[in-house]
Amino acid sequence: MPPPLPLLHPRRERPAQAVDRAENHADDHAVDHSVDCGEHHAEFRAPDSALGDTELIAARTALTQERHQAARALLLRTGDDWDRRGHRITVLAREPCAAARARDWLLAEPGSAGAATLFALALVHRALRGEEGPGTARMACREAAGLAPADPTPWLGLLLLERASGTGDGTRRIFAEVRARHPDHHHAHHLMTARLAERGPDRGANPDHEVYAFADECAARAPADSPLALLPVVAHTERYRVLAVAGLAAADPAASGHWSQPATGPLLQASFDWWLEWEPEDHPRSHVDLNFLAHALYCAGRGAEAAALFQRIDRYVTPAPWSYPAHDPCAAFHTARARALGTVAS
């Protein structure tokens, strides 16, 4: 792997307004980002893909009760916070009733960009679940993009589809459309990283694999406090998934040696130091990054640092990466958590 980035690598200046505001493996590597671990530990009650966003949870509940108005109000409040908008629409769109409710909204407000985007993403998730073909979903995404040219979310829907069944070139083109609208789009960067990691599994643990160069470049150009600083950790983990599925790495990630490569130690140290300095508590997908970093630290045998991450994760367990390559994510998470916390206690 290329040499890890220093903790305070020169990055693009953060825009002033940002400072002021300070179902399928395709969908970020799992059907849902969070799972109910209650069967394994009673203190972990029904975490889900909303990742603690209480406004989103309320809007989703209303959607299941055949009321779209709360979702409408939520998206109006979200505005052009693109990571949050993408997260919220994606979570709402996963609901089986989402397409019908979005259609009701469109009937009440023809030409509504929010309604069109929710409808498009709902069709995307139906396609990812195999409930209908992707053609209709693609058309809906492009129609939504026409209604909201600045919004990367319809393009995120297209990226989810392309990630599942498209070509590498198509994925790159759509990713470029997302990044043209929001250069630091978190979900899109994770999807692109996972896709690139799947290229050339026969090349094994090649430190020069393109996914590492991609992740390093993205981390280097992002603002200093951007969670994309942790993308190299995600790249390393996604590459492990590919190798393990291909039978080229042990199924037990902690015993695979994948996190024992010479450059991995400095990478994890820089990533943990970044988290200590910049932890983006308000980012809508921060728990996704926390899970990836905790997993990597645990697999590298850095129990004390992993324990700090497990405390911050609390009940927000995400299937990726704990399910890699084919594990029950709750069982894997709680085993790693217990061992890491035991390291601190001993």
Q: How many domains does the chain have?
A: 1
pLDDT at 18: 36
* Count of Cβ atoms closer than 10 Å to residue 15 Cβ: 10
- In this structure, of 142-156, 199-213, 259-273, 300-314, the range with the lowest mean pLDDT score is 199-213
- pLDDT at residue 151 in the model: 98
Q: Residue 84: how many CA atoms within 13 Å on its side-chain side?
A: 19
Given the structure tokens 């203190």, which residue do they identify? 43
d(CA 3, CA 12): 20
Determine if the pTM surpasses 0.95: no
- Quote the pLDDT of residue 9: 36
- CA 9 to each of CA 6, 297, 324: distance values in angstroms, whole numbers, following the listed order: 5, 21, 30
pLDDT at position 13 is 41
DSSP string, 260-326: GSTTHHHHHHHHHHHHHHH--TT-TTHHHHHHHHHHHHHHTT-HHHHHHHHHHHTT---HHHHTTTT
Q: What is the mean pLDDT of residues 42-60?
A: 78
For residue 139, give the amino acid letter.
M
Q: What percent of the chain has pLDDT over 70?
A: 86
The yes-or-no verdict on residue 7 having pLDDT over 60 is: no
Classify residue 140: in a domain, yes or no: yes
Angle between helices 82-93 and 113-128 (to 10 degrees): 50
Residue-level pLDDT at 28:
45
1 assigned to some structural domain: no
The pLDDT value recorded for residue 90 is 98
Kindly state whether residue 176 falls inside one of the protein's structural domains: yes
Is residue 9, in this structure, part of any structural domain at all?
no
Let me know if residue 215 belongs to a domain.
yes
CA gap 310, 323 in Å, rounded = 16
| Structural contact between residues 163 and 148, judged by C-beta atoms closer than 8 angstroms | no
C-alpha 85/C-alpha 77 separation (Å) is 10
In a domain, 98, yes or no: yes
Distance, CA of 234 to CA of 83 (rounded, Å): 18
Averaged pLDDT of the chain: 88
Q: What is the CATH number of the domain that holds 261?
A: 1.25.40
Helices (H) and strands (E) in the chain, counts: 17, 0
Range of the domain at 121: 16-22+26-345
Half-sphere exposure of 298 (CA within 13 A, CB side): 28
H/E element, 73: helix 69-78
Say what angle helices 168-181 and 186-197 make with each other, to 10 degrees: 160
**Res 15: pLDDT:** 39
Q: Which of 85, 254, 269, 273 is nearest to 182 (CA)?
A: 85
Which is more confidently placed, 20 or 163? Answer: 163
Averaged pLDDT for residues 142-169: 94
What pLDDT is stored for residue 105 in this prediction? 97
User: What tens digit of pLDDT does each residue of 262-310 get?
Assistant: 889 999 999 999 999 998 878 999 999 999 999 999 999 999 999 999 9
Higher pLDDT, 186 or 207: 186
Kindly state whether residue 6 falls inside one of the protein's structural domains.
no
Q: What is the mean pLDDT of residues 4-17?
A: 37
pLDDT higher than 60, residue 38: no
pLDDT bucket at 345, cuts 50 / 70 / 90: low
Q: Is residue 149 part of a domain?
A: yes
